[in-house]
């Protein structure tokens, strides 16, 4: 799974189109108790490449990656682990978060 998108949030204010991102480094769940209610937080990292071909060729690490502090790590919170987030849920969360800011971090977000 992966997504493609356009963004003006690349480090240094560079705009880019057709970026390719995939989720990595899923961590959790971590239990959070606040005011008598319990929730679970799952964190996930995101790696961005300039396109799908750069992702396919990425065997060297950072050399083929597009750095962005705004598109780096996210988390999702859920009330119970009976609905533990699958990769599809994590990608839906990522797409929502990339489009949520004003202005949005990303536009033209699509499944890859």
Per-residue pLDDT of 19-61, as tens digits, reads: 999 999 999 888 899 888 888 899 999 999 988 888 888 776 6
Stated pTM of the model: 0.84
Q: Is the pLDDT of residue 89 over 90?
A: no
Q: Phi then psi for 90, rounded to 5 degrees? A: -65, -40
Query: Residue 107: pLDDT band by 50, 70, 90 thresholds?
Result: very high
Q: Which of 30-34, 83-87, 88-92, 106-110 has the lowest mean pLDDT?
A: 83-87
Sign, CA dihedral 19-106-46-110, equals negative
Structure tokens at 33: 């108790």
CB 50 within 8 A of CB 95: no
Cα–Cα distance, 14 to 11 (Å, whole number): 7
Q: Phi then psi for 18, rounded to 5 degrees? A: 70, 25
Q: Is the pLDDT of residue 103 over 90?
A: no
Q: Is the pLDDT of residue 99 over 90?
A: yes
Cβ count within 10 A of residue 8: 13
């Amino acid at each position: 799974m992966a997504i493609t998108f356009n963004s003006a949030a690349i480090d240094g204010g560079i705009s880019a189109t057709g970026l390719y991102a995939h989720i990595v480094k899923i961590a959790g769940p971590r239990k959070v108790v606040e005011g008598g209610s319990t929730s679970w937080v799952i964190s996930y990292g995101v790696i961005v490449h300039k396109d799908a071909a750069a992702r396919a060729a990425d065997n060297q690490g950072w050399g083929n990656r597009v750095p962005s502090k705004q598109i780096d790590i996210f988390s999702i919170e859920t009330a119970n682990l009976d609905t533990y987030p699958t990769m599809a849920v994590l990608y839906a969360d990522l797409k929502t978060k990339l489009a949520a800011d004003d202005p949005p971090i990303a536009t033209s977000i699509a499944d890859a």
